[in-house]
Amino acid sequence: MRTGAKRKEAAGKAKAKEEAKDTTTTEEQNAATTQEEGTNTKSAAAVEKSESVQENHKEGEEPRKNEKVVKRQAKRTKIAKPETEAEYLSDKRNLEDLWQEVFPVGTEWDQIDMVYQYKWNFSNLEDAFEEGGELHGKKVYLFGCTEPQLVFYQGQSKVTCIPVVVAVVSPFPPSDKIGINSVQREAEEILPMKQMKMDWVPYIPLEKREAQVERLKSQIFILRCTQRRAGLKHLKLERVKKFEYCLPYFYQPFAEDEFEQSTIVQILFPTEPPVFCEFDWEFDEPEEMADKFIEAEELAADKKDEFVEFVKEKVKEGKRSNREAREARKKAIQDMSEEAKAAFQSMKFYKFYPVTSPDAPDVSQVKSSFINRYYRKAHKVF
């Protein structure tokens, strides 16, 4: 009995041990299976990464050993910038801004902006430089001015500052001086241009503005002023007014100056208020003129003698100026080279007004050949 019980007990222990061993074996097998699956997953990832690297380096070099490979983003497509500037320039005419680059000599500073309030069209000036035009292939000097005129535009009439461009055909600058004159000034002044910050400078057409100026052989020169309007507030009023009284000066020795033979002098008698008049020494008498002003109560009776002496002195100055002008003209001709003589005799003046357009007033009825007291009249008006 005891022997059988012991055998049963031993058999039970052996069976339990065997079951425990089988359980351990199963767990180990399961762990091994899990580890194998993890290894397989890592290998698949490595293969995928390798394939990705190979694709990125199909057209380039293979990655170096131990080099960290970074997958680059796809290269952005470069969007071409629209050539708006080039298109804009191509739409503009080559000499379109020529008239605007020329300084309007003698225009009051507060009126300059009014000159550009309209879109004036100077295509006639541009055409003159084209083949077959009056200025084609010639050396030309341009200056500007303005002419206040009553014109009709958009249903109303009003005084408008009309821009005008004068072209001088000449192998050399027509003058390096500026005349300053007005009815308010007692005497005329002839000053160097540079004293009034003006000079002849080459005009560069739009299509050549990228080139170096010194390499260009310009045939067009414009009168330019470098005085800034912002700097006017630092100038004395008399200096500011000088700019408004400026006239482009020209001396033609071969044309007898009408002022050389003029018998008229300007009288500005300093009294309160001042007495202004023109006196012609061939037809007027100082005493008679004084009596007329006294009768009109423009001159005090006790100022008559003083006025008469003032007029006589102005007449003497006028006659002396005429004599000196004639002598200076003769001497200038004597000292002039033959080349200069030929140039002065062949000089031509052309006056350009804006052409008729819907963007600006029509000025066709107010054109004049007169330029100023120095240049006198233009040979041709456009």
The ranges assigned to domains in the chain are 83-252+347-382, 256-345
pLDDT digits (tens, 9 = 90+) for 268-279: 888 888 888 888
**Structure confidence at residue 65 (pLDDT):** 44
Least confident of 193-197, 207-211, 325-329: 207-211
Residue 18's pLDDT band, with cuts at 50, 70 and 90, is low
**Structure confidence at residue 87 (pLDDT):** 42
The arithmetic mean of pLDDT across residues 90-101, rounded, is 79
The arithmetic mean of pLDDT across residues 261-266, rounded, is 80
Length of the chain equals 382
The neighbouring-strand residues paired with 162 are 147
Name the token pair of 361: 């007033």
pLDDT at 134 over 60: yes
Name the token pair of 367: 């054109």
pLDDT digits (tens, 9 = 90+) for 307-329: 899 989 988 888 888 888 788 77
User: pTM value?
Assistant: 0.61
**Structure confidence at residue 109 (pLDDT):** 83
Cα distance between residue 276 and residue 333, in whole Å? 37
* Secondary-structure class of domain 256-345 per CATH: alpha beta
**Structure confidence at residue 42 (pLDDT):** 44
In 132-188, the DSSP E strands lie at 140-153, 156-169, 177-180
Chain mean pLDDT for the chain? 76
Q: In the chain, which residue ranges form alpha helices assigned H by DSSP?
A: 2-56, 84-91, 98-101, 112-115, 123-128, 237-244, 286-295, 304-335, 338-346
**Structure confidence at residue 59 (pLDDT):** 43
Q: Name the residue among 339, 341, 363, 340 with its Cα closest to residue 352.
A: 363
**Structure confidence at residue 36 (pLDDT):** 45
pLDDT at 98 over 80: yes
Residue 142 makes CB contacts below 8 A (sequence gap 6+) with: 98, 102, 165, 166, 167, 168, 203, 220, 221, 222, 223
pLDDT at 128 over 80: yes
Q: Which helix (H) or strand (E) holds 246?
A: strand 246-248
Cα distance between residue 59 and residue 217, in whole Å? 54
Residue 256's pLDDT band, with cuts at 50, 70 and 90, is low
Residue 25's pLDDT band, with cuts at 50, 70 and 90, is very low
- Give Dmax over CA atoms of the chain in angstroms: 183
